[in-house]
Amino acid sequence: MSVAIESLLVPRQERKGRLCVAGTLTTVHRIAVWYKMGLSSEEISREWTHLPIAAIYAALAYYHANQVEMEAEIAADQAEEERIEAEYLKMRDTKVA
């Protein structure tokens, strides 16, 4: 039985409509970040055993085919995380003082 590549990645409303590995909430973005951190597809598969290796390769193929857009979204996510962290630290420091 063959598997259609497009069935491995599906948009999930729980993740802002971003593509996820089918049957999970793991986004293509998250897999791309792990890859950029130096993890190979096989290492990702060993660490997160619920992710099929074929889906990891599909996610990385999508990332490489849409790299400019994906990098912009990853950068925006990182900026938002940094903003939230700074806001939290400011609020925490205000309470301590």
Query: For residue 26, what is the domain's CATH number?
Result: 1.10.10.10
d(CA 97, CA 78): 28
pLDDT at 97: 60
Q: Indicate whether 75 pLDDT > 90.
A: yes
Q: Indicate whether 8 pLDDT > 70.
A: yes
Q: List C-alpha distances in Å: 3 to 7, 49, 62, 97.
A: 7, 19, 17, 59
Q: Which domain holds residue 57?
A: 7-96
Burial 3-17 (b: 16+ CB within 10 A, else e): eeeeebbeebeeeee
Domain count along the chain: 1
pLDDT at 94: 82
pLDDT at 93: 80
Task: Look over the chain and give the mean of its residue pLDDT values, rounded to a whole number.
Answer: 93
Residue 1 lies inside a defined structural domain of this protein: no
DSSP state of 27: B
DSSP state of 51: S
